[in-house]
Chain A
Amino acid sequence: MAYLINPEDQDLLDSVREFCEKEIKEQCKEYDVSGEWPAEIYAKAAELGYNGLEVPEEYGGLGLERITVAAIMEEFAKADAGFVTTITASNLALKAVLIGGNEEQKQRCCDLLMEGNHGAFCLTEPMAGSDAGNSKTTAVRDGDEYVLNGRKCFITNGGVASFYVVTAMTDKSQGVKGMSAFLVEAGTPGLSTGNHENKMGIRTSNTCDVVLEDCRVPASALMGAEGEGYKIAMKTLDMSRTWVGCGAVGIAQRAIDEAVAYGKQRVTFGKPILKNQGLQFMIADMEIRVETARQMVAHALKLMDAGLPYARESAIAKCYAGDIAVQNALDAIQILGGYGYSREYPVEKLLRDAKIFQIYEGTNQIQRMVIGKSVIGKF
């Protein structure tokens, strides 16, 4: 059972699937080994409008329903989780601008994405991951400008983005209430990027440090008011977590697809291994997990559509989908046995890719804190 999308959008999904099959799935194997960012694949995808899927219609987007975008994102993730990470990270930066930016900033970022560019959301620092309030990056007002200094790390699309949403402390004494957000365009003097991280998985996504050294931006680069940066960042993450869950669902589904395809043709003791009830039960458990996660993603999206609170559901979707993506990848490896452990087969990559979904955009421990607090409330 996939997402229940508008039947009219089915043809979009079909063409995306065809692109993923022919242009991403096999090609990314090589890039998974080299760790090179597949610029050519991303250029083709950009031409087809895949960077702008979440751009709202009023800013020149296509007005796709969220659930349709989710179904498309799942296809990307099934083909290659690094690919979906790149697309999702651009949309993460976009969400921050849509939440906290002014009209001009919103239009600028939407235009950049519709033109096929990428965005990057720069919150994390070496000593400020889950503890984002411990940020050391500063922004000091100097006339009509702000001067940014600091180092952001693990920034997805850091080396390939056209625009950056950067959080920085404008008033350290205020703690998180002294954090502000800025929209910084690529090429701004003082903004540079560090080495591309040599990661365990999602190796087709670009991850690097973003360094700010006396980076001067006009005062108009401030998003919202001074001190609103943390609020903007948290709202952004609340929303984007669902989309991270959506990517994890894609990995978990690919694990089933690979396990079933292999298990039907692999013969032991004179019969295909999937004739054994023990493995059928494993497949059933994988399916239960992926479908539950997918519907949790769908539910969180439905709450967003309805304008209802969704922070808890978004955290559940991300946390659960991340966990089950790892479990399904492990099970797929188990079903493929020794071949599953070999890099000749596609499932060990799924495990390496899945692991980050328990870590980025708020570790699953942080998600459990969000969920737990929302249930228990203040007492």
Chain B
Amino acid sequence: MELLVCIKQVPDDSVSVSLGADGAPKLDEIAPVVNAFDTYALEMAARFKEAHGGSVTVLTIGGDATVPALRSCLSVGADHAYKLAEESVCDTQGIAYLLSKASAKAGEQPFDVIFCGSESTDASSGQVGAQLAEILGIPVVTNVLAVEPREGGVTLKQETEEGYRVVEAPCPCVVTIVKPNYEPRYPSIKSKMAARKMPIGDLTAAGVEADAAQFGPEAAKVRRVAISAPPQRQSGVKIQEKEAAEAVRRAMEMLAGQKLI
């Protein structure tokens, strides 16, 4: 099967982000990485390919800054990588539209299964996969833990609150991936070096016949009005009475005062 994995480059989510004086997140010193959920998607696609054949193409919306992320994907199982540089796109609907157009031009299309991370670790909107499926007019299965081939389609394990349910979908379809019970592989020295020499395809909005009215600022259905840091946690109350009985009495008073008991 031919597999497409849509990836996003995000600031390293193990580093805490603060806001600068201009109110924007300070990201200059935070290393960009491939969104964790997308790495799960890529690993799942790579394992699927290794077990059942086919190829894996990765695709991202972004300029030259995304090259390290794409190279990193090429070193852990992707066969082809494409980027579509378009700065005017500003909401998930626009991104999904561009991905839908690019998916018809990138790699070994037509794709049988399009993998997306279930969400990104920066904006966490969790919408792109579903919107992409809507635009392409194909089924979407969200929160997927495993994918197996079946005649004419795929069998999927979909995560639920209690465990998982098994669903089937015809191909082509979009799947959004959550963390399975394994970790993405590490690149080997050899695969890292080989990835340097692999081509990265350049796409443009015009080249994929995307209509600017569908993805530009005017088309945006969602607009970001502000970013704020989460409120600092208030420091707790210290009970420093010398006698235990007195300390307990104080604590009970405070709990009662807050109507907690």
Q: Which residues of A contact B (CB under 8 A)?
A: 8, 11-12, 15-16, 18-19, 23, 44, 47-50, 53, 62, 64
Contacts and interface: CB of A to CB of B under 8 A. Distances in A.
Interface string B178-217: 0000000011111011001000000000000000000000
B196 A8 contact: yes
B193 A12 contact: yes
Contacts of B75: 15
A15 B68 CA distance: 12
Interface in B30-84: 68, 71-72, 75
A15 B187 contact: yes
Contacts of B196: 8
A123 to B, nearest CB: 29
A46 to B, nearest CB: 10
Given A11-B68, A11-B71, A48 B187 contact: yes
A193 B188 CA distance: 31
A188 B189 CA distance: 32
A49 B188 contact: yes
B193 A48 contact: no
Contacts of A12: 189, 192-193
Contacts of A64: 189
B193 to A, nearest CB: 6
B186 A18 contact: yes
19 contacts: A8-B196, A11-B71, A12-B189, A12-B192, A12-B193, A15-B75, A15-B186, A15-B187, A15-B192, A16-B189, A23-B186, A44-B186, A47-B188, A48-B186, A48-B187, A48-B188, A53-B189, A62-B189, A64-B189
Classify chain B: how many residues form its interface, as a range: 10 to 19
A50 B192 CA distance: 13
Nearest to B75: A15
Contact of A11 (B186, B188, B192): B192
Contacts of A47: 188
Contacts of A11: 68, 71-72, 192
Given A8-B196, A49-B189, 7 more contacts: A11-B72, A15-B75, A18-B186, A19-B186, A48-B188, A49-B188, A62-B190
A36 B102 CA distance: 52
Contacts of B190: 49, 62
Determine chain B's interface SS by DSSP, over half rule. Answer: helix
Contacts of A18: 186
Interface string B126-161: 000000000000000000000000000000000000
A29 B13 CA distance: 26
From A12, A19, A44, name the one whose CB has the most chain B CB atoms within 10 angstroms: A12
Nearest to B31: A14
Closest 7 CB pairs of A and B: A49-B189, A48-B188, A49-B188, A15-B187, A49-B190, A19-B186, A12-B192
A16 B75 CA distance: 13
Contacts of B189: 12, 16, 48-50, 53, 62, 64
Nearest to B76: A15
Contacts of B186: 15, 18-19, 23, 44, 48
A180 B75 CA distance: 44
Nearest to B193: A62
Interface centre among A8, A19, A44, A62 (most CB of B within 10 A): A62
A10 to B, nearest CB: 10
Contacts of A8: 196
A69 B186 CA distance: 18
A47 B185 CA distance: 11
A223 B37 CA distance: 53
A261 B197 CA distance: 39
Task: Select the residue from B71, B75, B192, B196 with max chain A CB neighbours within 10 A.
Answer: B192
Contacts of B68: 11
A16 B190 CA distance: 12
A157 B189 CA distance: 23
A111 B188 CA distance: 17
A183 to B, nearest CB: 25
A62 B190 CA distance: 7
A267 to B, nearest CB: 17
A62 B187 CA distance: 14
A207 B29 CA distance: 43
A240 B70 CA distance: 37
A91 to B, nearest CB: 14
Contacts of A48: 186-189
